[in-house]
Structures are given as structure tokens and as C-alpha cells.
Structure 1
Amino acid sequence: ILNMQIIKVILLFLSLKLLAQNNTDLKKGGAFSLFYENSWQERFEKLKPHWHYSWNWELRENYPDGIEFVPMIWGRGSATQSKIDYLNNLASIGKIENVLLFNEPDLVGQSNMSVNEVVNLWPLIETLNIPISSPATSAPLNDWMKDFMEKASNQNLRVDFVAIHIYHKNDSDKFIELIKEVFQTYGKPIWITEFAVRDTNATENNPNIYSESHVISFMQDVLDEIHDLDYVKRYSWFDPNANNEKYPMLQTADIINENNQLTTLGEYYASYNPNNNLSNHKKKINEITIYPNPSKNLIYIDTDSSSLKASIFDLNGRILMKKIIKTQMNISGLKQGVYFIELSTEIHKTTHKLIVKK
């Protein structure tokens, strides 16, 4: 009997450990812009992130399966009623779960917005029906960020989590100390949407002082720590573009090169908390084609699949049509307007915008 009790305790302990591990499963992300859109699938399969953002608000057609897309309202130009409506529509059909906001508004070269401008836009932002981030400043405890968070608190503005960038803590202990200080200061869940080891003095003629071994050691220590911090919900290592003039500053932090080959650092990032669903959702970018689009009465679907489940949604997320199809679908019953059509097999799923013209 005693042995059985011990076994039960051990099994309970293991189940709790697995549960705790599952709670961290979605933490690791990837950040790749529209510049890399044609290689998103390959990069995701190699780095195995659970979520991705592109510094853009739009869910692109044929977006890869098996990974969460997180849109971003990058600056004032994206903070419009039409884009808020678009994102709420995506949320209503389960395509997005979170939204990131305003990329480095404290910097002239980025979204370049004053605190008051952002605060004035916030009533519109708050109409999003899913969790929203704070603006992501170039440093999480700078004056801009503190001023915004104070005004948000005083005016009872909704900020569901804090998005932060960290490039100025190249020692793992100091990095974690800063994370803890951010949480103590703002008291909000944290997404680390950009971080890496950077030598601000490095140029083509002045080599980066941080060796690859130093950066690997940094990554190992930091990832272990932030996975144990419950209030750190997501993180995404920043991968530099080798064609950028500032690349030497981040050269040893590169995780995947311009030919989509993993570096040694990238191999470690890929192995840590991997998203293994990506290999089960492999999909070519142009696997499914719908034509004509716009259409009036009939659409054709070009695919290798023998049959597809097709669902058509209006902009409010309501299902208007749902059927099994092979190569074509009659849409004569739809009024003129813009719709979403979701096509799926047992392992593939893709959403397209469909325009009906009468």
C-alpha cells in the first residue's frame, strides 16, 4: 500500500511538472518582417517558434499553419477604425488572440509618437476585443514608457501586457534583473518582443566584442530563467538582417542567415521549447489558389487535395456557407461585398479574402 501511495505521489508530481511545462509552451516566438514573407514557412520550420509577428497588422494570405500570428499596429498610420474592425473580425473567427502596439514610439526612426498622441488614440485601441500590449519602447524603463504607463494608470486605460525590447543588457544576470524590475515597476505580464546581444560600437572595421560562445551562453542562461518566470508570457529573439549597415553590431546574435541556414546560435534556439506542430502542418505558399477573385457566381479552387472543407464568413465572423467541395464552389447566393473563405483538409488550413461583385 505504501509503495502504491509513493507511486501515486510520483505520478502526481510528474503530471504537475508536465502541466507547468505546457504553460510555457507558447513562449518562444519569431520576428520576421514582410521582407522575408516568401521564406516564412522555411524559417518557421527550422526555428520552430510558437508565434510570430511581422511588425504588420495584416494576416497575409496562405499564412503558414501551426503557428500563431500576432498582428502589430506599428504607428499612427495603422491606428485607424478600418484596421481595428479588420482585427476584430479576425479575432471573431479565431485567427488572432493578441495585438502588439506602436513600435519604439520614443525613436525618430521608428513610429516616433509622443505619449499624448498615443494616449489620445487609446480609446480607439481599447475597442479591440482581445488582449493588447503597451507600446514597445527602445528601453522598458525609459522616461517615455514610464510617462505612458503612469498616464494609462491615472486614466484607467486598458493595457493587458507590457511589450519590451532589450539590447543594452549583454550580461544574463543583469538582463534578468531588468526583467524583474520591469515587472515590479508596472505589475503587468511581460512579452519580450525584441532582444539580443548587441555591441553598439561594432562596425565593419571594428569587430563585435561579443563572441559567438558568449552569445550562446547568454541565450542558454536567459531562456532558462525566463521560462521559469510565470509573468514572462512570450519572448522573441531579434534576428538581424545581414544587409543592414548596422549588422556588425548584432553579427554574433544572428540565428538564421539570408540563405535560411541556421547558425550555431540558431540551432540552439530551434532546439529550445520547439514547436513540433509545424512539421505536421507543412504547406507550400501557393498550395491553394482561388479564381476568379473577384467573382460573381462560381469560384474554382486549384489544389492537390481531393476534397476540402470550405467555410465562408462575413466581416462580422458569421458563417454564411459551409460545405465539402472538390474544385469549385457556387457563391451565387452571396450579396456583393467582401468575405473570408476558409479552406481546410485534415492537416492544412488557409484563409483567403473573397470579393463578390454582382
Structure 2
Amino acid sequence: MLWGDKSVNSFRKHVLNNLDGKNNQGKCVMGMNEVNQRGQAQMSASHACSIMRENILPLKRHGWYIVSPVTTNAASGQTWMDKFRSNCGDVWDAIDAVAVHYYDTSVNKFKNYVSEWYNRYNKPIWVTEYACQDFNGGSQCSDSKAYNFHTTMASWFDEQDFVEAYAPFGVMQNMQGVSSSNDLANGQIPTTLYNAISG
């Protein structure tokens, strides 16, 4: 992933200038992280277009698979992606899949959100972050609700031809404000939730 402005130099060194490096065997690259979000890789669609054109588009000539920049599921996310698509046709045409993030507590809203993005952009979907988490002041998911949320969505993703990849948040010690009901690891040990959705 070319995370954002602060990682361009590292990306150029380790990816563009080292195409056959041991960490590049997958030949897949993801665009910038949460481009519509302050504190993440926040940037305009036109700036994102320039970064993608200069640093990611050259990889297409070497057969790399390209995933779009990703937004949060705030309303500004789709507005941002619409601008990116309309102002950046050459980059958009080179993109193989569109990435989404989703944080909320409703399975039905999540399914509708992913389906809407597929129908709107007509490219395969990568769900690269999600959790049963309310960042808008509502109640958080209990352990049982989070378990149901994750297992239901994993089954649904597996049934959708247009969902190519999905990765819940997160296998990490610091959950960065995400409810512990979504924990996928306890130290070095996978949790029951991890085992339920990774099989």
C-alpha cells in the first residue's frame, strides 16, 4: 500500500525501484488510506490522481494488480470517489478493484453499502478494513453481536462474486479505539472470533 504523502519516498525505494524484491512477489498494490479522513491520508481527489499516476500507474506496465485509494464509509467517501473517477480517467481505467472500509454495527447496512459501491463503480470490491464498531456515539457491539456480525459478513462475502478480498480489523495488540469485541488476537494467540472467520 502507498499509504499517503508521507510514504511516497519509501514506496518508490521499496516498490518502484525494486520490482522483484521479496516483498513484491504478489504484484498487487493498494492506493492511499482513508483519503477523505483527517488524521489519515487526507487529500484531494486531484492530488490522489497525481500520486497514483506517478507512483502506481507505472506498475500496471509490469502486470501489477491495482486497487483504488480507500475512503471511510462517511458520506464524504463516495463524494470523494466520484470526484476521483471523473477527474482521473486514465488512472481510474487502470484500477482493477475498488477498496472500501466500513465501521458500523448493522449487518444489513454493511451488505447494502458493499453492494452499492459495486453497482456504482462496476469494479470488484476489496473490503480492506471493517469492524462491528460505532464511531458516532452509539452503543458498541457486545462480544456475541460482534461474533455474529463477523461470521455473517464472512459468509456473505464468500457468496458474492464481486467481493474479491476482505480483511477485518484487526490482528493487532493496539486496536486504536476499536472495541475489544472485534479482537482477532490475544497476544500471539488467535481468538475464537479469528478462528471462526478464517476457516
Seen in structure 2, the aligned counterparts of structure 1 residues 211 and 113 have a Cα distance that, compared at 3 Å, is same
Conserved? CA contact 2:35–2:41, under 8 Å: yes
Question: 1:109: which partner in 2?
Answer: 39
The alignment covers a number of residue pairs equal to 191
Seen in structure 2, the aligned counterparts of structure 1 residues 134 and 156 have a Cα distance that, compared at 3 Å, is closer
Q: Secondary structure at the match of 1:139?
A: coil
Conserved? CA contact 1:162–1:189, under 8 Å: yes
Matched, 1:269 2:194: no
Question: 1:211: which partner in 2?
Answer: 142
Question: 1:39: which partner in 2?
Answer: none
Q: State the percentage of identical aligned residues.
A: 27
Matched, 1:198 2:133: yes
Structure holding more helix per residue: 2
Q: Distance in 2 between matches of 1:201 and 1:252?
A: 17
Q: Distance in 2 between matches of 1:115 and 1:269?
A: 34
Query: Unaligned stretches of 5+ in structure 2?
Result: none
Seen in structure 2, the aligned counterparts of structure 1 residues 82 and 179 have a Cα distance that, compared at 3 Å, is same
Q: What's the TM-score, normalizing by structure 2?
A: 0.83
Question: 1:186: which partner in 2?
Answer: 121
Conserved? CA contact 2:103–2:135, under 8 Å: no
Question: 1:311: which partner in 2?
Answer: none
Q: Distance in 2 between matches of 1:251 and 1:156?
A: 37
Matched, 1:119 2:28: no
Q: Secondary structure at the match of 1:234?
A: strand
Matched, 1:236 2:167: yes
Question: 2:109: which partner in 1?
Answer: 174
Seen in structure 2, the aligned counterparts of structure 1 residues 201 and 152 have a Cα distance that, compared at 3 Å, is closer
Q: Deviations over 1:211-262 (max 9, x none)?
A: 111111112211111111111111101117554562xx421111112x2223
Matched, 1:131 2:53: no
Q: Secondary structure at the match of 1:195?
A: strand
Deviation of the 1:94 alpha carbon: 7.2
Residue of 156, 169, 174 corresponding to 1:225: 156
Relative contact order (alpha carbons < 8 A, sep ≥ 6): 1 or 2 greater?
A: 1
Query: Structure 1 counterpart of 2:192, which letter?
Result: T
Q: Distance in 1 between matches of 2:136 and 2:161?
A: 34
Q: Deviations over 1:306-332 (max 9, x none)?
A: xxxxxxxxxxxxxxxxxxxxxxxxxxx
Conserved? CA contact 1:196–1:238, under 8 Å: yes
Q: Deviations over 1:14-63 (max 9, x none)?
A: xxxxxxxxxxxxxxxxxxxxxxxxxxxxxxxxxxxxxxxxxxxxxxxxxx
Deviation of the 1:149 alpha carbon: 2.1
Q: Which has the larger radius of gyration?
A: 1
Seen in structure 2, the aligned counterparts of structure 1 residues 201 and 260 have a Cα distance that, compared at 3 Å, is farther
RMSD after superposition? 2.7
Q: What's the TM-score, normalizing by structure 1?
A: 0.48
Q: Distance in 2 between matches of 1:153 and 1:174?
A: 30
Conserved? CA contact 2:130–2:169, under 8 Å: yes
Question: 1:74: which partner in 2?
Answer: 3
Deviation of the 1:97 alpha carbon: 2.4
Query: Structure 2 counterpart of 1:197, which letter?
Result: C
Question: 1:162: which partner in 2?
Answer: 98
Structure holding more strand per residue: 1
